[in-house]
A and B are shown apart, each in its own frame.
Chain A
Amino acid sequence: MPRTKKEAVKTEEVKTGEVKAEETKTEEVKAEAVAEPERGYVSLRHIDKIYDNNVQAVFDFNLEIARKEFIVFVGPSGCGKSTTLRMIAGLEDISAGELWIDGEYSNDRTPKDRDIAMVFQSYALYPHMTVYNNMAFGLKIRHLPKEEIDRRVREAAKILQIEEYLDRKPKALSGGQRQRVALGRAIVRNAKLFLMDEPLSNLDAKLRVQMRSEIIKLHEAIGATTIYVTHDQTEAMTMASRIVVMKLGRVQQIGSPIEIYNNPANLFVATFIGSPSMNVLKATYNNGTVVLANGKEIKLSKEAVKAHEAFYEAEIEKAKAEQAKAQADLEAKNGKDEHLSKVLCDATSKLSRLQDALDNPHEVIYGIRPEDIHDVENDATHDELGETYDINVDVAELLGHEYYVHTTFAGAEMVAKIPLVHEIKIGDKMKIAFAIRKAHIFDPITENRIY
């Protein structure tokens, strides 16, 4: 993928102890950067990140963030979430695309000019300075008046409940206290934008839960726009106003926690969000009925059948366009290009498969969340339940108020969340049923959600 051309020319002049740095951009960049975003306090448009060795870490990232939003980037390691955060912070160059912060084109602005505060996973503090001095240090450099520094530090300490630790040094603090001081360093700067890169990863599980709620309360109190990076889907679900799910450098879905949870865009989002993960079962779709690998049939609602038709009709249109383009590209080369021939062949085969799927039985993936599997004999649910199935309990994990029941069903491992009504043991037999309106169907090739 091509990079935008940028040339920065810096000249330095030393004059009476002062240095002036001048930068000039090419006309191409200036022309591209004319239009301000219509909305979005932070606006990321078609952002790419390509390293010198041509490895692309982020592909076409687009996002508009409103003031005071709490946005969470979530995804597995290596998905590009930290790289994107670092591009917003100015710690990494943006290879292509535009970054706007508070109406200003910010691609080439230095980190200090972007008025952002970062909180890292390592919650680094100056080891031999007191908590007070750790928080005040950055403000002293900026020549703020002593009284103003004192006011900001004490106000932040009060919000974070670390007033009694102001005279202590970091080695006398616990991990959670140090993390609060790191947050304090960010708060005192009165920055417009907070960027947090896995700030809770180094904390133990109990402290993580406590700090999560503290960060949420802090966000409510301060109202700063916040972008938070995590690999933990629980943090994403509990903290975000909107979640950006990423995988291998690409955005999979953007939405509120409840939208992402109830309407995952694809199989990756469906299985990444939610704990335990959504159960996925191989199945066959046949004229409004899903047939599982064990032969059990689930009749789909009219709504689901319509969604199935609409999905494949839309996919067919897309595939026809891809095929037409591949055809045109190959004709432009007089039919003599091996790569383009393959692309045309793949596009044709995909179109054929999709057309076949619309009219004939075909493979699908049936997804059902653990909490949508019910113990028929003991669970008084209002959900519409399908057929009753007999299962054997392979493992029963007691969490206090519920069990995670592991079983094998339709050739796959399945987990059900069963409320604690009576003891469940390995080897027990149970009767379960699916809340069929809550289930999802995915296309096995594109992995996109059909219903």
Chain B
Amino acid sequence: MEKHYLFQTSGPFHRIAFEDSLSSIGVEGVTYFSLTSGEFIADASVVAELIPILGLLREDLGVSISFLISHDLGPLEKKLLNEAFSYYPNQALFLSDLILKEISFGNYSSYPLIKEKFDHVPSDLMLTVGMYLRCGLDGKAASKCLFIHRNTFLYRVNQFIEMTGLDIRDYHNALFLELYFQLVSAYRAND
């Protein structure tokens, strides 16, 4: 499963060396947004190779560097990349990690941007994926709870993935969706 690996550094750095070190973990094709930020797209499993070399990157490149790993690149991701760099330098964090940290400090500023990602999704699809999470990502159990055929269930999940780009069969993606549901629930309770 592919992920966006967004990064931000404390200053300009040696790009060729950076790309060489990423090549050493099988990453090719870095896109730069600025002198201090950019992204590459790679398999979700690359994070396991990236985390051990974060300290090496910092030492060799001479800059602090933070990574945000997401299914998408949008305003939410850019906001959270800034936060990752400001508060959690020299770490590789998932979208869900940062949202959880925000919530734990009572900060719900990302909610509008998160909500934007799901506003256009029809309610039957949201219901279906919500049940999928409730059933612990067990499709058979979710179909049963929804009284729908398994094929209908799979169709709806695929529709959701196509509309949002969020493949909830991945743990971190599923967690991100769960956090969205929890935030919605909290906001409704306060209304």
Binding site for B on A (CB under 8 A): 14, 19, 21, 91, 110-112, 117-118, 120, 122, 124-129, 137-138, 140-141, 185
Contact = CB atoms under 8 A, between A and B. Distances in A.
Contact of A128 (B10, B24, B62): B24
Interface of B: 10-12, 14, 17, 20-21, 23-26, 35, 49, 52-53, 55-56, 58-64, 90
B49 A127 contact: yes
B191 to A, nearest CB: 30
B17 A122 contact: no
22 contacts: A19-B12, A91-B58, A110-B11, A110-B63, A111-B59, A111-B62, A111-B64, A124-B52, A124-B53, A124-B55, A125-B56, A126-B21, A127-B49, A127-B52, A128-B24, A137-B17, A137-B21, A137-B60, A138-B60, A140-B17, A141-B14, A185-B59
Contacts of A110: 10-11, 62-63
Given A110-B10, A141-B61, A129 B55 contact: no
A118 B58 CA distance: 11
Nearest to A122: B52
Contacts, number: 57
Nearest to A124: B52
A125 B21 CA distance: 10
A106 to B, nearest CB: 15
A118 B11 contact: no
> Counting chain A CB atoms within 10 Å of each CB, which of B35, B55, B59, B62 scores highest?
B59
B103 to A, nearest CB: 15
9 nearest A-B residue pairs (beta carbon): A112-B62, A128-B24, A138-B60, A126-B24, A124-B52, A141-B17, A19-B12, A141-B14, A129-B24
A120 B55 contact: yes
A415 B58 CA distance: 47
Contacts of A122: 52, 55
Contacts of A111: 58-59, 62, 64
Given A14-B35, A110-B10, A127-B25, A141 B55 contact: no
B32 to A, nearest CB: 13
A112 B55 CA distance: 13
Contacts of A124: 52-53, 55-56
Given A19-B35, A91-B90, A126 B14 contact: no
Contact of A138 (B12, B26, B59): B59
B55 A118 contact: yes
Contacts of A112: 62-63
B42 to A, nearest CB: 14
Contacts of A120: 55
Contacts of B25: 126-128
Nearest to A197: B55
Given A122-B55, A137-B60, A185-B56, 9 more contacts: A19-B12, A111-B64, A117-B59, A124-B52, A124-B55, A127-B25, A127-B49, A141-B14, A141-B61
> Counting chain B CB atoms within 10 Å of each CB, which of A111, A124, A127, A141 scores highest?
A141
A13 B25 CA distance: 33
Contacts of B49: 127
A88 B59 CA distance: 14
Contacts of A21: 11
Contacts of B17: 137, 140-141
Contact of A126 (B10, B56, B64): B56
A167 to B, nearest CB: 15
Contacts of B11: 19, 21, 110
